[in-house]
Amino acid sequence: MRGLIGFAVILALLVGVSLLPPDTSLREIERAGVLRACVPPSYPPLVTGDSEQPGVDIELLRILSQKIGVSLVLNENQAMGRDFNPKNWGLNRAQCQVIAGGVVDSDQTRSFLETGPAYAQTGWAVVSPAPVDSLEGKRIGVLTLISGLDRIGLASFLRNEGATARILTNPDALAAGFADGTLDAGVTEAMLASRLAEENGWTVAWAPLELARYNMVFGLWKGDITLKRVVDQTFAELAADGTIGTIMDRYGVTPID
């Protein structure tokens, strides 16, 4: 009897799945001839606002749209990245089928979105004119911009280290602090940190392991299986032929390790 009950449950599940409507996410994009992506207005090096060098994520989105055979439309979202939880970004399917420009693969993200393949690693990173052994007692410029990383965790860590933190609004303020000796180091998102170090001849290192690291991904809506398959396949091909690495190099982004 117990075996029959188990068999009946499995049969009911299979019947239920067969009655679900088919996923048409890719077909709808192809029918409309447009792939819509939600991105922040600016988050270099992922989104720059420069038509000549639009950013890592914009270049990847362009390749993805070409792979599907449609045009790309970008919808800017002011809230993206300002909050660690993507549920608070106010996005919906009518605005976009893909979310890019600073999506991290976290438990909160996966509770709300499907995620594509990881193409880079992010987290808090330390930049400085010369290597620093620790942040203990240091004067730190914190450059958050619109990073969706855990600012509360960073503030708590710096406080426990006895560091003096100063919130900065742009990379020029960080460079000025290094030049006049009022800052010992800066903390910012890893991809931006790598680019700043490349441009200015600074050193860059991951922040201590107490601060989490994440994979950078594209966000997709849950249930959009056919679109996800194309995204997964496209990223696998771009990783295999070196395209992703070439794009990263073009924007001065190198692996911190």
* Residue 156 near residue 212, CB atoms below 8 Å: no
Same domain? For 158 and 68 the reply is: no
pTM for this prediction:
0.83
Same domain? For 96 and 218 the reply is: yes
Nearest CA to 102 among 192, 222, 216, 188? 216
User: Is 18 contained in some domain?
Assistant: no
Same domain? For 73 and 38 the reply is: yes
Same domain? For 55 and 164 the reply is: no
* Residue 215 near residue 105, CB atoms below 8 Å: yes
Q: What is the pLDDT along the chain (257 residues), one digit of tens a residue?
A: 666 555 444 544 444 434 345 699 999 999 999 999 999 998 889 999 898 999 999 999 999 999 999 999 999 998 886 766 778 889 999 999 999 998 989 888 899 999 999 999 999 999 999 999 999 999 999 998 766 788 899 999 999 999 999 999 999 999 999 999 999 999 999 999 999 999 999 999 999 988 989 999 999 999 999 999 999 999 999 999 999 999 999 998 988 87
CATH number of the domain at 76, please: 3.40.190.10
pLDDT in tens, 45-89: 999 989 899 999 999 999 999 999 999 999 999 888 676 677 888
pLDDT in tens, 150-166: 889 999 999 999 999 99
Q: Give the tokens for residue 31.
A: 């029918």
Domain boundaries, position 196: 123-213
User: Is 4 contained in some domain?
Assistant: no
Distance CA 197, CA 230 (A): 34
